[in-house]
């Protein structure tokens, strides 16, 4: 399975943050904040804006204070999602909402953290438009549609190695556009 773009982008930002890169960290926190706001508002109902904002701050504070528990070799979104879920359940417990806890536990809320929400935020289409047409198509097929590089190679008539190189260049280009990749060639 290919790793998702959002996972790679967020993880890239997190790794830079762990190395002390303030710009990457700011970008990461802003993205996470917006994701969380949407996520919590939907869970808590329309009259709970303040609760949602408090929760968001709690989660960001936990991400900040407990970032030592992120394992660089593992997915970032899974780590982050567990913290967001933990804080939501905690919130329901504190308010004595048994139903809320059950919903939060039983619900596959992880889904909301997946591609669509993240893609929408990162405006991947706009980023991809900046790539050359051929590269963009390969990138879309492998990183978004989830095809293997072998399949993409057959369809495009290129060798698998070329497809790999092309996608790798695309990743680097997108990283540079987002401002967190090194400019080394």
HSE (side-chain half, CA atoms, 13 Å) at 120: 9
Q: Where are the beta strands (DSSP E) in the chain?
A: none
Stretch that binds other proteins, among 75-83, 118-126, 132-140, 168-176 (CB under 8 A): 75-83
24 phi and psi angles, rounded to 5 deg: -65, -40
Draw the binding track, 3-22, toward other proteins (x: CB under 8 A; -: no contact). Answer: --------------xxxx-x
For residue 34, give the nearest of 119, 104, 121, 114 by alpha carbon.
121
Distance CA 83, CA 19 (A): 21
Stretch that binds other proteins, among 39-47, 52-60, 127-135, 152-160 (CB under 8 A): 52-60
Q: Is the dihedral of CA 107, 44, 8, 22 positive or negative?
A: negative
Distance CA 140, CA 83 (A): 30
Q: Which of 78, 120, 145, 161 binds other proteins (CB under 8 A)?
A: 78
51 binds other proteins per the rule CB under 8 A: no
Distance CA 89, CA 91 (A): 5
60 binds other proteins per the rule CB under 8 A: yes
CB of 104 to other proteins, least distance (A): 12
108 binds other proteins per the rule CB under 8 A: no
67 binds other proteins per the rule CB under 8 A: yes
95 binds other proteins per the rule CB under 8 A: no
Distance CA 58, CA 63 (A): 9
Q: Which residues fall within 8 angstroms of residue 184, CB to CB, at 6 or more apart? A: none
Residue numbers 120-139 binding other proteins by CB under 8 A: none
| Identity of the residue, 86 or 119, whose beta carbon is nearer to other proteins in the bound complex | 86
Q: Which of 3, 26, 42, 134 binds other proteins (CB under 8 A)?
A: 26
Contact footprint for other proteins (CB under 8 A): 17-20, 22, 25-26, 29-30, 33, 53, 56-57, 60-62, 64, 66-72, 74-75, 78-79, 81-83, 85-86, 90
């Amino acid at each position: 399975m290919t790793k998702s773009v959002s996972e790679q982008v967020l993880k890239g930002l997190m790794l830079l943050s762990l190395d002390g890169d303030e710009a990457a960290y700011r970008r990461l926190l802003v993205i996470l904040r917006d994701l969380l706001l949407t996520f919590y508002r939907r869970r808590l109902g329309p009259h709970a804006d303040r609760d949602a904002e408090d929760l968001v701050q709690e989660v960001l504070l936990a991400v900040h204070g407990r970032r030592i528990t992120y394992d660089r070799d593992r997915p970032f979104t899974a780590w982050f999602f567990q913290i967001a879920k933990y804080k939501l359940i905690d919130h329901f417990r504190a308010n004595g909402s048994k139903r809320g806890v059950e919903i939060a536990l039983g619900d596959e809320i992880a889904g909301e953290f997946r591609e669509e929400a993240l893609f929408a935020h990162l405006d991947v289409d706009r980023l991809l438009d900046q790539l050359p047409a051929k590269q963009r198509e390969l990138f879309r097929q492998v990183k978004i549609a989830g095809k293997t590089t072998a399949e993409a190679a057959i369809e495009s008539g290129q060798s698998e190695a070329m497809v790999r190189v092309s996608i790798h260049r695309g990743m680097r280009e997108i990283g540079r556009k987002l401002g967190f990749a090194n400019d080394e060639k």
